[in-house]
Amino acid sequence: MISALKKSIATGILLAGSVGVAMAADALKPFVLAYTTGGDIEQVAGDVKEKLGTAGFEIAGSYSPYEGALILAITNDTLKQAAASSEFGGYAAGQRVTLTQVEDQIQVSYTSPLYYGTAYRLKETEGLNQVAAALQTALGKTDTFGTGEKQLSDNDLRKYRYMFGMERFNNPSELANYKSYDEAIAAVEQGLNTGAGGASKVYRIDIPGKQETVFGVALTDGCSSDEYIMSRIDRDNLRSTGHLPYEILVSGGDVYALYARFRIAISWPHLPMIVSETGATFFNIMCAPNAIEESLIKAAGGRV
């Protein structure tokens, strides 16, 4: 009887271990470290751009939000079609490849299309897997990162919010409303061209078959600025530079953005609210969500 009990316990431990391994295998992370290298960041960027072009990616736009960081916004037909599969799927149409100088090394990383596509509730995910495979072939894959000890599954991401009472994907900021898609597009283009709210255009991607367009937006004003926010929370050894840029989505005559308490948290779901070893906490950027929303409302021509 004792022998049978020991066998039962051992079997239970093995099963529990198998479940843990399965959960880890199914867990999704927002960023992929392609490789690290030395040298000049612009020269490395030239090599990265060439690899992306060979792999069939279009560079929709690029910018340097602060010294030592370069972001390439990329897309292709597969990403656009996946984005078109769901309402407000346009947020996922522009993935990011980033180069970040950390001491004497340059980290070349990219966003996980499956992670962000799932967080943005895309119905069609096969294309996202194809894009991920193409990026891995083009740039490599050394590690995945961005959730700390948290294990986020497909289901976790589709209903994600940082904590009770905070926004989910389907609780966006409503920036402005216009009579038509064309009028909304014109207003956003004008706002970004004039730097309204400290915002400027990084890229524009039109979603095929829909009156939907996503703009990548650089922010430079005060508490909403890219540099302000990243300097206070992006302090892990592997940098999450691909969190940027923020997006404005035009859908029909309506203009939206993901609310910042959701948009920031999906890039750092493990970041504590108040205390951390690195000093990076959400408390450090308490002013940011409202400031970001205000900047994007101004950029969209809406009323604060």
Q: Using the predicted structure, report yes or no on whether residue 26 has a pLDDT greater than 80.
A: no
pLDDT confidence band for 301 (50 / 70 / 90): very high
Q: Using the predicted structure, report yes or no on whether residue 7 has a pLDDT greater than 50.
A: no
Q: Of 150, 139, 147, 63, which Cα lies nearest the Cα of 107?
A: 139
Q: Using the predicted structure, report yes or no on whether residue 34 has a pLDDT greater than 50.
A: yes
H or E segment to which residue 46 belongs: helix 41-54
Residue 13 lies in a domain: no
Residue 4 lies in a domain: no
Residue 22 lies in a domain: no
Average pLDDT (28-45) is 97
Residue 19 lies in a domain: no
Find out whether 85 and 124 touch, Cβ atoms under 8 Å.
Answer: yes
pLDDT confidence band for 12 (50 / 70 / 90): very low
- CATH code of the domain containing 141: 3.30.310.70
Average pLDDT (5-27) is 44
- Provide the whole-model pTM: 0.91
Residue 33 lies in a domain: yes
Q: Using the predicted structure, report yes or no on whether residue 152 has a pLDDT greater than 90.
A: yes
CB half-sphere exposure, 263, CA atoms < 13 A? 23
Q: Could you tell me the two tokens for 80?
A: 């656009």
Residue 152 lies in a domain: yes
pLDDT confidence band for 23 (50 / 70 / 90): very low
Residue 291 lies in a domain: yes
Task: Look up the domain containing 110 and give its range.
Answer: 28-299
For the stretch 233-292, pLDDT in tens is: 999 999 999 999 999 999 999 999 999 999 999 999 999 999 888 889 999 999 999 999
What is the spatial distance between Cα 259 and Cα 168, in angstroms, rounded to a whole number?
A: 8
Q: How many domains is the chain partitioned into structurally? A: 1
Residue 20 lies in a domain: no
